[in-house]
Amino acid sequence: MDVTELARSPLKAAAVTSVSEERTVTEQHVSRETPEWTPIAEEAERAARVLHPDRHGMPRPVHRRLLTVANQKGGVGKTTSTVNLAAALAMHGVRVLVIDLDPQGNASTALGVEHRLGTPSVYEVLLGEIRLAEATVRSTASPNLLCIPATIDLAGAEIELVSMVAREGRLKQALSREALDEIGVDYVFIDCPPSLGLLTVNALVAADEVLIPIQCEYYALEGLGQLLSNIDLVRAHLNTDLHVSTILLTMYDGRTKLADQVTSEVRSHFGPTALRTVIPRSVKVSEAPGYSQTVLSYDPGSRGAMSYVDAAREIAERGATGRIRTDGR
Ligand SMILES: Nc1ncnc2c1ncn2[C@@H]1O[C@H](COP(=O)(O)OP(=O)(O)OP(=O)(O)O)[C@@H](O)[C@H]1O
Ligand SMILES: [Mg+2]
Protein backbone atom coordinates (compact mmCIF):
# COMPACT_ATOMS: atom_id res chain seq x y z
CA MET A 1 0.00 0.00 0.00
CA ASP A 2 1.11 3.55 -0.74
CA VAL A 3 2.22 4.76 2.68
CA THR A 4 1.13 8.37 2.20
CA GLU A 5 -2.28 7.09 1.22
CA LEU A 6 -2.25 5.00 4.38
CA ALA A 7 -1.43 8.04 6.51
CA ARG A 8 -4.15 10.18 4.99
CA SER A 9 -6.75 7.49 4.57
CA PRO A 10 -10.20 8.58 5.70
CA LEU A 11 -10.84 4.93 6.49
CA LYS A 12 -8.56 5.30 9.47
CA ALA A 13 -11.52 6.78 11.31
CA ALA A 14 -13.56 3.70 10.46
CA ALA A 15 -10.79 1.42 11.59
CA VAL A 16 -10.57 3.24 14.90
CA THR A 17 -14.29 2.79 15.56
CA SER A 18 -14.02 -0.90 14.79
CA VAL A 19 -10.85 -1.88 16.60
CA SER A 20 -10.74 -4.66 19.11
CA GLU A 21 -9.37 -3.97 22.57
CA GLU A 22 -6.14 -5.70 21.77
CA ARG A 23 -5.53 -3.53 18.78
CA THR A 24 -5.97 -0.44 20.91
CA VAL A 25 -3.24 -1.76 23.17
CA THR A 26 -0.95 -2.31 20.18
CA GLU A 27 -1.53 1.18 18.93
CA GLN A 28 -0.18 2.48 22.20
CA HIS A 29 3.23 1.19 21.07
CA VAL A 30 3.12 2.99 17.76
CA SER A 31 0.56 5.75 17.71
CA ARG A 32 0.31 9.25 16.33
CA GLU A 33 1.12 10.63 19.79
CA THR A 34 4.48 8.88 20.05
CA PRO A 35 7.49 10.40 18.26
CA GLU A 36 8.26 7.02 16.61
CA TRP A 37 4.96 6.99 14.73
CA THR A 38 5.22 6.83 10.95
CA PRO A 39 2.84 5.24 8.47
CA ILE A 40 5.53 2.66 7.67
CA ALA A 41 5.97 1.79 11.33
CA GLU A 42 2.24 1.33 11.66
CA GLU A 43 2.05 -0.89 8.60
CA ALA A 44 5.06 -2.91 9.79
CA GLU A 45 3.44 -3.36 13.20
CA ARG A 46 0.31 -4.71 11.54
CA ALA A 47 2.28 -7.07 9.31
CA ALA A 48 4.21 -8.37 12.33
CA ARG A 49 0.97 -9.13 14.14
CA VAL A 50 -0.37 -11.05 11.14
CA LEU A 51 2.81 -12.93 10.24
CA HIS A 52 4.25 -13.65 13.70
CA PRO A 53 1.19 -14.69 15.63
CA ASP A 54 3.06 -16.46 18.48
CA ARG A 55 2.53 -13.50 20.78
CA HIS A 56 -1.09 -13.20 19.72
CA GLY A 57 -2.37 -16.80 19.33
CA MET A 58 -6.12 -17.27 19.22
CA PRO A 59 -7.99 -19.51 21.66
CA ARG A 60 -9.50 -22.82 20.56
CA PRO A 61 -13.27 -23.16 21.02
CA VAL A 62 -14.71 -25.13 23.93
CA HIS A 63 -16.36 -27.35 21.33
CA ARG A 64 -16.07 -27.66 17.55
CA ARG A 65 -17.91 -24.88 15.72
CA LEU A 66 -19.60 -25.24 12.33
CA LEU A 67 -20.48 -21.95 10.66
CA THR A 68 -22.40 -21.53 7.43
CA VAL A 69 -21.55 -18.30 5.64
CA ALA A 70 -24.74 -17.34 3.86
CA ASN A 71 -26.48 -14.44 2.18
CA GLN A 72 -28.43 -15.04 -1.00
CA LYS A 73 -27.44 -11.60 -2.22
CA GLY A 74 -24.47 -11.93 -4.57
CA GLY A 75 -21.12 -10.22 -4.09
CA VAL A 76 -21.52 -9.21 -0.44
CA GLY A 77 -18.24 -10.77 0.70
CA LYS A 78 -19.24 -14.33 1.63
CA THR A 79 -16.24 -15.97 0.01
CA THR A 80 -13.79 -13.20 0.92
CA SER A 81 -14.88 -13.38 4.55
CA THR A 82 -14.83 -17.19 4.64
CA VAL A 83 -11.28 -17.53 3.36
CA ASN A 84 -9.79 -14.62 5.28
CA LEU A 85 -11.42 -15.44 8.62
CA ALA A 86 -10.40 -19.08 8.17
CA ALA A 87 -6.83 -18.08 7.28
CA ALA A 88 -6.62 -15.69 10.24
CA LEU A 89 -7.72 -18.39 12.67
CA ALA A 90 -5.41 -20.97 11.09
CA MET A 91 -2.38 -18.66 11.13
CA HIS A 92 -3.05 -18.09 14.82
CA GLY A 93 -2.91 -21.76 15.73
CA VAL A 94 -6.50 -22.97 15.23
CA ARG A 95 -7.30 -25.92 12.90
CA VAL A 96 -9.87 -24.88 10.31
CA LEU A 97 -11.72 -26.59 7.46
CA VAL A 98 -13.30 -24.54 4.65
CA ILE A 99 -15.97 -26.28 2.60
CA ASP A 100 -16.47 -24.64 -0.76
CA LEU A 101 -20.17 -25.18 -1.48
CA ASP A 102 -20.34 -22.80 -4.42
CA PRO A 103 -19.93 -24.20 -7.96
CA GLN A 104 -18.03 -20.99 -8.81
CA GLY A 105 -15.17 -22.44 -6.72
CA ASN A 106 -13.99 -19.00 -5.59
CA ALA A 107 -13.02 -20.13 -2.09
CA SER A 108 -10.92 -22.96 -3.55
CA THR A 109 -9.14 -20.45 -5.80
CA ALA A 110 -8.41 -18.02 -2.96
CA LEU A 111 -7.03 -20.85 -0.83
CA GLY A 112 -4.70 -22.01 -3.61
CA VAL A 113 -6.46 -25.37 -3.89
CA GLU A 114 -6.83 -27.37 -7.10
CA HIS A 115 -10.44 -27.52 -8.31
CA ARG A 116 -10.29 -28.69 -11.91
CA LEU A 117 -12.93 -31.10 -13.13
CA GLY A 118 -12.00 -34.56 -11.85
CA THR A 119 -10.57 -33.31 -8.54
CA PRO A 120 -12.15 -35.11 -5.54
CA SER A 121 -14.55 -32.48 -4.26
CA VAL A 122 -17.58 -31.67 -2.16
CA TYR A 123 -19.77 -32.94 -5.01
CA GLU A 124 -18.66 -36.56 -4.51
CA VAL A 125 -18.95 -36.07 -0.74
CA LEU A 126 -22.60 -34.95 -1.10
CA LEU A 127 -23.33 -37.95 -3.30
CA GLY A 128 -21.77 -40.21 -0.67
CA GLU A 129 -19.19 -41.53 -3.14
CA ILE A 130 -16.13 -40.57 -1.08
CA ARG A 131 -15.34 -39.84 2.57
CA LEU A 132 -14.82 -36.31 3.82
CA ALA A 133 -11.12 -36.96 4.43
CA GLU A 134 -10.66 -38.14 0.83
CA ALA A 135 -11.74 -34.76 -0.53
CA THR A 136 -9.81 -32.72 2.06
CA VAL A 137 -6.62 -30.95 0.98
CA ARG A 138 -4.25 -28.53 2.69
CA SER A 139 -4.38 -24.89 1.65
CA THR A 140 -1.24 -23.04 0.68
CA ALA A 141 -2.32 -20.32 3.15
CA SER A 142 -1.44 -22.28 6.32
CA PRO A 143 -0.68 -25.86 7.42
CA ASN A 144 -3.64 -25.51 9.81
CA LEU A 145 -6.04 -24.65 7.02
CA LEU A 146 -7.81 -27.43 5.15
CA CYS A 147 -10.23 -27.15 2.27
CA ILE A 148 -12.77 -29.28 0.46
CA PRO A 149 -12.87 -27.78 -3.02
CA ALA A 150 -15.81 -27.29 -5.35
CA THR A 151 -15.58 -28.25 -9.01
CA ILE A 152 -17.99 -27.26 -11.74
CA ASP A 153 -19.73 -30.63 -11.13
CA LEU A 154 -21.42 -28.96 -8.19
CA ALA A 155 -23.50 -26.83 -10.58
CA GLY A 156 -25.56 -29.93 -11.38
CA ALA A 157 -25.93 -30.98 -7.75
CA GLU A 158 -28.73 -28.55 -7.04
CA ILE A 159 -30.90 -30.47 -9.52
CA GLU A 160 -29.50 -33.96 -8.86
CA LEU A 161 -30.15 -33.62 -5.14
CA VAL A 162 -33.87 -33.02 -5.70
CA SER A 163 -34.63 -36.69 -6.30
CA MET A 164 -32.36 -38.03 -3.56
CA VAL A 165 -33.34 -39.50 -0.23
CA ALA A 166 -32.82 -37.07 2.68
CA ARG A 167 -31.72 -34.47 0.17
CA GLU A 168 -31.46 -31.64 2.72
CA GLY A 169 -29.29 -33.69 5.06
CA ARG A 170 -26.57 -34.96 2.71
CA LEU A 171 -23.87 -32.61 3.96
CA LYS A 172 -24.82 -33.13 7.61
CA GLN A 173 -24.47 -36.86 7.11
CA ALA A 174 -21.00 -36.37 5.63
CA LEU A 175 -19.95 -34.02 8.45
CA SER A 176 -20.40 -36.59 11.19
CA ARG A 177 -18.43 -36.21 14.42
CA GLU A 178 -16.24 -39.18 13.41
CA ALA A 179 -15.52 -37.75 9.96
CA LEU A 180 -14.51 -34.39 11.46
CA ASP A 181 -12.48 -36.09 14.20
CA GLU A 182 -10.56 -37.90 11.49
CA ILE A 183 -9.59 -34.57 9.95
CA GLY A 184 -9.09 -32.97 13.35
CA VAL A 185 -10.51 -29.45 13.04
CA ASP A 186 -11.85 -26.90 15.55
CA TYR A 187 -13.74 -24.77 13.04
CA VAL A 188 -15.68 -25.55 9.86
CA PHE A 189 -16.71 -22.70 7.56
CA ILE A 190 -19.12 -23.47 4.71
CA ASP A 191 -19.09 -20.95 1.86
CA CYS A 192 -22.54 -20.83 0.24
CA PRO A 193 -23.59 -19.82 -3.26
CA PRO A 194 -25.75 -16.69 -3.71
CA SER A 195 -29.07 -18.52 -3.57
CA LEU A 196 -31.39 -20.17 -1.10
CA GLY A 197 -31.45 -23.46 -3.03
CA LEU A 198 -30.69 -26.98 -1.88
CA LEU A 199 -26.95 -26.40 -1.49
CA THR A 200 -27.54 -23.55 0.97
CA VAL A 201 -30.24 -25.59 2.75
CA ASN A 202 -27.73 -28.46 3.09
CA ALA A 203 -25.26 -26.02 4.66
CA LEU A 204 -27.92 -24.68 7.07
CA VAL A 205 -28.85 -28.20 8.13
CA ALA A 206 -25.21 -29.22 8.62
CA ALA A 207 -24.10 -26.25 10.75
CA ASP A 208 -25.12 -24.87 14.15
CA GLU A 209 -24.29 -21.29 13.36
CA VAL A 210 -24.91 -18.87 10.52
CA LEU A 211 -22.48 -16.07 9.75
CA ILE A 212 -24.09 -13.41 7.56
CA PRO A 213 -21.80 -10.95 5.81
CA ILE A 214 -23.59 -7.68 5.05
CA GLN A 215 -22.17 -5.21 2.60
CA CYS A 216 -22.28 -1.58 3.78
CA GLU A 217 -24.26 -0.53 0.73
CA TYR A 218 -27.71 0.58 -0.29
CA TYR A 219 -30.14 -2.37 -0.47
CA ALA A 220 -27.86 -4.23 1.94
CA LEU A 221 -30.74 -5.31 4.13
CA GLU A 222 -33.07 -6.11 1.28
CA GLY A 223 -33.63 -9.83 1.02
CA LEU A 224 -32.26 -10.40 4.50
CA GLY A 225 -35.79 -11.05 5.76
CA GLN A 226 -36.09 -13.93 3.32
CA LEU A 227 -32.80 -15.43 4.51
CA LEU A 228 -33.87 -15.09 8.15
CA SER A 229 -37.24 -16.73 7.53
CA ASN A 230 -35.52 -19.60 5.69
CA ILE A 231 -33.25 -20.01 8.71
CA ASP A 232 -36.37 -20.09 10.94
CA LEU A 233 -37.90 -22.76 8.68
CA VAL A 234 -34.78 -24.92 8.79
CA ARG A 235 -34.64 -24.51 12.59
CA ALA A 236 -38.31 -25.49 12.92
CA HIS A 237 -38.14 -28.59 10.73
CA LEU A 238 -34.60 -29.78 10.16
CA ASN A 239 -32.05 -28.38 12.63
CA THR A 240 -33.21 -27.11 16.02
CA ASP A 241 -29.69 -25.90 16.92
CA LEU A 242 -29.40 -23.46 14.04
CA HIS A 243 -29.02 -19.78 14.93
CA VAL A 244 -27.49 -16.62 13.51
CA SER A 245 -24.42 -16.21 15.69
CA THR A 246 -22.42 -13.66 13.73
CA ILE A 247 -23.01 -10.67 11.48
CA LEU A 248 -20.00 -9.18 9.72
CA LEU A 249 -20.17 -5.80 8.02
CA THR A 250 -18.05 -5.76 4.90
CA MET A 251 -16.72 -3.28 2.34
CA TYR A 252 -17.12 -0.34 4.71
CA ASP A 253 -16.26 2.93 3.02
CA GLY A 254 -15.76 5.60 5.65
CA ARG A 255 -16.06 8.38 3.07
CA THR A 256 -19.77 7.73 2.67
CA LYS A 257 -22.57 8.56 5.09
CA LEU A 258 -24.40 5.56 3.72
CA ALA A 259 -21.86 3.14 5.21
CA ASP A 260 -22.50 4.62 8.67
CA GLN A 261 -26.25 4.48 8.16
CA VAL A 262 -26.13 0.81 7.17
CA THR A 263 -23.79 0.06 10.08
CA SER A 264 -26.05 1.65 12.68
CA GLU A 265 -29.16 0.07 11.17
CA VAL A 266 -27.55 -3.38 11.30
CA ARG A 267 -26.30 -2.81 14.87
CA SER A 268 -29.69 -1.66 16.10
CA HIS A 269 -31.35 -4.68 14.48
CA PHE A 270 -28.84 -7.37 15.39
CA GLY A 271 -27.23 -5.96 18.56
CA PRO A 272 -24.18 -7.89 19.79
CA THR A 273 -24.56 -10.52 17.05
CA ALA A 274 -22.79 -8.01 14.79
CA LEU A 275 -19.03 -8.09 15.31
CA ARG A 276 -17.45 -4.84 16.54
CA THR A 277 -14.88 -5.13 13.78
CA VAL A 278 -15.94 -3.84 10.38
CA ILE A 279 -14.10 -4.86 7.20
CA PRO A 280 -13.04 -1.80 5.19
CA ARG A 281 -13.33 -1.63 1.43
CA SER A 282 -9.76 -2.26 0.28
CA VAL A 283 -8.11 -2.84 -3.06
CA LYS A 284 -5.71 -5.33 -1.49
CA VAL A 285 -8.60 -7.53 -0.32
CA SER A 286 -10.01 -7.68 -3.84
CA GLU A 287 -6.61 -8.26 -5.48
CA ALA A 288 -5.54 -11.21 -3.30
CA PRO A 289 -7.65 -13.99 -4.91
CA GLY A 290 -6.14 -13.10 -8.29
CA TYR A 291 -2.87 -14.43 -6.86
CA SER A 292 -4.56 -17.50 -5.29
CA GLN A 293 -3.95 -15.97 -1.88
CA THR A 294 -5.78 -14.61 1.11
CA VAL A 295 -5.14 -10.97 1.93
CA LEU A 296 -3.24 -12.12 5.01
CA SER A 297 -0.44 -13.54 2.90
CA TYR A 298 -0.86 -11.17 -0.04
CA ASP A 299 -0.46 -7.98 2.02
CA PRO A 300 -0.21 -8.70 5.75
CA GLY A 301 0.39 -5.02 6.56
CA SER A 302 -2.84 -3.87 4.94
CA ARG A 303 -5.81 -2.75 6.95
CA GLY A 304 -7.88 -5.37 5.14
CA ALA A 305 -5.66 -8.13 6.56
CA MET A 306 -5.65 -6.61 10.03
CA SER A 307 -9.41 -6.20 10.13
CA TYR A 308 -9.92 -9.86 9.22
CA VAL A 309 -7.51 -10.82 12.02
CA ASP A 310 -9.50 -8.64 14.45
CA ALA A 311 -12.81 -10.14 13.30
CA ALA A 312 -11.41 -13.68 13.60
CA ARG A 313 -10.18 -12.90 17.12
CA GLU A 314 -13.67 -11.76 18.13
CA ILE A 315 -15.11 -15.00 16.74
CA ALA A 316 -12.43 -17.07 18.52
CA GLU A 317 -12.98 -15.26 21.82
CA ARG A 318 -16.72 -15.93 21.68
CA GLY A 319 -15.98 -19.58 20.94
CA ALA A 320 -13.54 -19.86 23.84
CA THR A 321 -16.11 -18.63 26.36
CA GLY A 322 -18.78 -20.91 24.90
CA ARG A 323 -21.12 -17.87 24.92
CA ILE A 324 -21.83 -18.01 21.22
CA ARG A 325 -25.55 -17.38 21.21
CA THR A 326 -26.49 -13.73 21.23
CA ASP A 327 -30.18 -14.31 20.54
CA GLY A 328 -31.05 -15.06 24.17
CA ARG A 329 -32.15 -18.65 23.39
N1 LIG B 1 -13.35 -5.61 1.76
C2 LIG B 1 -13.35 -5.61 0.44
N3 LIG B 1 -12.79 -4.57 -0.25
C4 LIG B 1 -12.80 -4.56 -1.60
N5 LIG B 1 -13.32 -5.52 -2.36
C6 LIG B 1 -13.89 -6.56 -1.74
C7 LIG B 1 -13.95 -6.66 -0.31
N8 LIG B 1 -14.58 -7.80 0.01
C9 LIG B 1 -14.91 -8.39 -1.15
N10 LIG B 1 -14.51 -7.66 -2.20
C11 LIG B 1 -14.68 -7.96 -3.62
O12 LIG B 1 -16.06 -7.95 -3.90
C13 LIG B 1 -16.39 -9.00 -4.80
C14 LIG B 1 -17.43 -9.92 -4.15
O15 LIG B 1 -16.84 -10.52 -3.02
P16 LIG B 1 -17.07 -12.08 -2.72
O17 LIG B 1 -16.75 -12.91 -3.92
O18 LIG B 1 -16.36 -12.40 -1.46
O19 LIG B 1 -18.63 -12.05 -2.48
P20 LIG B 1 -19.62 -13.28 -2.43
O21 LIG B 1 -20.74 -12.88 -1.55
O22 LIG B 1 -18.89 -14.53 -2.09
O23 LIG B 1 -20.08 -13.36 -3.95
P24 LIG B 1 -21.00 -14.52 -4.60
O25 LIG B 1 -22.37 -14.21 -4.13
O26 LIG B 1 -20.82 -14.35 -6.09
O27 LIG B 1 -20.49 -15.82 -4.11
C28 LIG B 1 -15.11 -9.70 -5.14
O29 LIG B 1 -14.59 -9.19 -6.33
C30 LIG B 1 -14.20 -9.36 -3.96
O31 LIG B 1 -12.84 -9.35 -4.32
MG1 LIG C 1 -18.84 -16.37 -3.13
| Per-residue pLDDT tens digits for 103-156 | 999 999 999 999 999 999 999 999 999 999 999 999 999 999 999 999 999 999
C-alpha closest to that of 136 among 179, 90, 81 = 179
Q: Are strands 145-148 and 137-138 parallel, antiparallel or unpaired?
A: antiparallel
Q: Which atom of ligand 1 is nearest to the CA of 81?
A: 18
The conformation of residue 56, written as its DSSP 8-state character, comes to G
Percent of the chain with pLDDT over 90: 74
Q: Which atom of ligand 1 is nearest to the CA of 251?
A: 1
**In the chain, what are the domains?**
3-321 (3.40.50.300)
Mutation pick for ligand 1 pocket among 80, 191, 287, 306 (CB with most ligand atoms within 8 Å) = 80
- 245, containing H or E segment: strand 243-250
Give the Å distance between the CA of 298 and the centre of ligand 2: 19
Name the region of 326 (left: φ>0; alpha: ψ -120 to 50; beta: rest).
Answer: alpha
Predicted local confidence at residue 79, as pLDDT: 98
C-alpha closest to that of 180 among 153, 212, 151, 148 = 148
Q: Which atom of ligand 1 is nearest to the CA of 213?
A: 21
CA dihedral 10→252→59→148, nearest 10 degrees, is -130
Q: Whose CA is nearest to atom 14 of ligand 1?
A: 75
Give the Å distance between the CA of 183 and the centre of ligand 2: 24
The residues that bridge with 69 in the sheet, in sequence order, are 191, 211
C-alpha 251/C-alpha 76 separation (Å) is 8
What would the pLDDT profile of 29-84 be if each residue is shown by its tens digit?
Answer: 445 556 566 767 777 667 666 666 656 689 999 999 999 999 999 999 999 999 99
Contacts of 245 (CB under 8 A, 6+ apart): 67, 208, 209, 210, 211, 273, 318, 324, 325, 326
Higher-confidence residue of 25 and 199: namely 199
Name the region of 293 (left: φ>0; alpha: ψ -120 to 50; beta: rest).
Answer: beta
Give the Å distance between the CA of 109 and the centre of ligand 1: 13
Ligand 1 pocket, residues with Cβ under 6 angstroms: 74-80, 102, 106, 194, 250-251, 279, 281-282, 285-286, 304
C-alpha 147/C-alpha 220 separation (Å) is 29
Give the Å distance between the CA of 37 and the centre of ligand 2: 38
C-alpha closest to that of 101 among 208, 194, 7, 23 = 194
